[in-house]
Amino acid sequence: MNIRPLDDRLVVKQADAETKTATGILLPDTAKEKPTRGKVLSVGPGKLLDSGKRAPIAVKAGDEVYYGKYAGSEVKVGEDKFVILRESDLLGVVEK
């Protein structure tokens, strides 16, 4: 991957969309919802503060996160799809 996020942004690899419901009904491609969960691949250096220092980012590469349904910008590099988000777009980190 050749994407280096800037400031408080991070690059997330989207999880695959669900192919069937909890009750076992298979979903066609047109009915699948956009995933809101993914794995953090890289993080930026942090938001630049007025003092000239960088604010640390609360997540690191490898974390599984949830983010808003319409948050971030989708980008495609080769055959892979990624989402570039701001740290503030994150809803939570999956604890293991």
* ∠ Cα 51 3 32 (to 5°): 110
What's the pLDDT at 78? 85
Residue 17, pLDDT > 90, answer no
Q: How much is the pTM?
A: 0.78
The string of pLDDT tens digits covering residues 18-69 is: 666 677 777 666 655 666 889 999 999 999 999 999 999 999 999 999 998 8
Q: Where are the domains of the chain?
A: 9-16+33-93
What's the pLDDT at 21? 67
Find out whether 46 and 64 touch, Cβ atoms under 8 Å.
Answer: no
CATH superfamily assigned to domain 9-16+33-93:
GroES chaperonin (2.30.33.40)
What's the pLDDT at 44? 92
